């Protein structure tokens, strides 16, 4: 009888746990947009802690370093806007109103006629049967582009309803700024508030996990910024050599799009090819080689070196993370898919595999050397 009561109690306990998990997940789904905005503000705060940590090494007090970091970032942005923005805006205007529409039309015409591949006879003979079976219709492309634009708008309305118009977008930006400001002012208090939600005996582990997330986010931001700079400058210089007048704008596009693995590279290639077929059709093959060459160096050589001590995500995990985050959160989810996936892996390794299953031999997602790095007092404690 006692055994039956024990079994009944255990069953009841697991049923209640399952119900609680479902309720929590449902509540999180209802406020997923706010949670995503909060996560973005945490990423922004961690970004500001990078120069803060650098200044702290020279004896600058952290409150002072925080102010210098924010003011310095604003000044750099204003300087770039003053020096480079007018030229970039002119190039972008030419790209969007003239070159890309004209280039798309020329590209479609040359695809349909086969001229696009006649520079390489061997390649043309190979793909000719394929070309004859597939013709691209200009009206179809225009309709597809229009439908994609509408789909993106619908995603924004359905997933992030509060950013469906200009006024709401500005409101979201203000919310992001205020959230980041509050986290910057009292990071220790917010971190400790989260830790106190857990049982006393588990709080040390929560502190350790938060610190691992802190290290992962910081190293990811550092590596991503350097990687974007490498792609942007490399693309600009290479396309300038290939005589593209909008090389700077295309370099900015390539650099910014490299923030989004897998999909960003495709957008940069299409934009460069569309411009190249108008301005330098004789160099079209080289433009393709340059964009993919720089992308290959960035993804296979540069990024592994930069991220060797931060996050170790298999490419398939990055792609799956982007697909899931895009389905759940829309475009913003795709942008933040890599750090979200990295944090999820840390939680799975630390909470599920190590704590629940008891497997302490699991390989960490961070470089083992980072396990020796002193842990800060909380996720945002760099600026406390």
Query: Would you say residue 352 has pLDDT above 70?
Result: yes
Mean pLDDT, residues 3-23: 76
Taking only Cα atoms into account, the Rg of the chain, rounded to an integer number of angstroms, comes to 25
Higher pLDDT, 86 or 325: 325
> Could you give the C-alpha distances from 100 to 32, 103, 116, 268, 283, in angstroms and in order?
36, 5, 17, 12, 17
Nearest Cα to 339, choosing from 210, 178, 218, 188?
218
pLDDT tens-digit map of 303-326: 777 766 566 677 788 888 888 888
* DSSP one-letter string for 110-178: HHHHTGGGTTSHHHHHHHHHHHHH----HHHHHHHHHHHHHHHHHHHHHH-GGGSSHHHHHHHHHHHHH
Query: Would you say residue 253 has pLDDT above 70?
Result: yes
Highest mean pLDDT among 274-283, 305-314, 337-346 belongs to 337-346
Burial class (CB in 10 A: 0-12, 13-18, 19+), 70: middle
Residue 100 burial (CB count, 10 A) = 17
C-alpha span between 267 and 331 (Å, rounded): 14
Any idea where the domains of the chain sit in the sequence? 90-136+187-311+366-384
| pLDDT of amino acid 162 | 41
C-alpha span between 198 and 102 (Å, rounded): 60
| pLDDT of amino acid 207 | 92
* Residue pointed to by tokens 């720089």: 294
94-103, 145-154, 338-347: least confidently modelled range: 145-154
pLDDT tens-digit map of 224-240: 888 889 999 999 899 88
Higher pLDDT, 39 or 119: 39
Confidence tier at 205 by pLDDT (50, 70, 90):
very high
Q: What's the angle, vertex CA 334, arms to CA 332 and CA 339, rounded to 5?
A: 95
Mean pLDDT of the chain: 74
């Amino acid at each position: 009888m006692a055994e039956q009561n024990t079994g009944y109690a255990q069953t009841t306990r697991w049923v209640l746990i399952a119900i609680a998990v479902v309720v929590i997940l449902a509540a999180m789904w209802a406020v997923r947009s706010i949670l995503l905005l909060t996560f973005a503000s945490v990423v922004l705060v961690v970004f500001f802690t990078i120069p803060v940590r650098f200044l702290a090494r020279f004896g600058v007090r952290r409150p002072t370093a925080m102010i210098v970091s924010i003011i310095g970032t604003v000044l750099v942005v204003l300087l770039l806007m003053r020096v480079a923005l007018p030229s970039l805006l002119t190039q972008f205007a030419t790209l969007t109103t003239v070159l890309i529409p004209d280039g798309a039309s020329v590209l479609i015409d040359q695809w349909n006629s086969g001229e696009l591949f006649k520079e390489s006879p061997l390649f043309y003979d190979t793909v000719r049967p394929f070309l004859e079976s597939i013709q691209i219709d200009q009206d179809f492309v225009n309709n597809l582009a229009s439908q994609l634009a509408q789909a993106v708008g619908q995603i924004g309305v359905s997933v992030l309803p509060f950013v469906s118009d200009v006024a709401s977008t500005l409101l979201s930006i203000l919310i992001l700024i205020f959230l980041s400001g509050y986290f910057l002012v009292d990071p220790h208090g917010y971190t400790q508030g989260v830790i106190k939600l857990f049982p006393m005996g588990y709080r040390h582990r929560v502190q350790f996990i938060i610190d691992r997330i802190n290290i992962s986010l910081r190293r990811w931001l550092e590596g991503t910024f350097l990687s974007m700079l490498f792609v942007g400058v490399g693309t600009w210089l290479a396309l300038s050599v290939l005589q593209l007048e909008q090389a700077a704008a295309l370099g900015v596009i390539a650099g910014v799009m490299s923030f989004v693995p897998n999909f960003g590279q495709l957008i940069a290639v299409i934009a460069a090819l569309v411009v190249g077929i108008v301005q330098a059709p004789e160099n079209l093959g080289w433009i393709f080689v340059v964009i993919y060459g720089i992308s290959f160096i960035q993804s296979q050589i540069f990024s592994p070196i930069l991220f060797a001590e931060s996050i170790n995500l298999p490419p398939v995990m990055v792609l799956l993370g982007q697909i899931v985050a895009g389905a759940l959160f829309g475009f913003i989810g795709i942008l933040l898919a890599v750090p979200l996936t990295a944090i999820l892996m840390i939680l799975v390794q630390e909470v599920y595999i190590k704590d629940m299953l008891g497997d302490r031999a699991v390989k960490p997602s961070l470089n083992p050397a980072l396990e020796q790095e002193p842990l800060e007092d909380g996720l945002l404690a760099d600026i406390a």
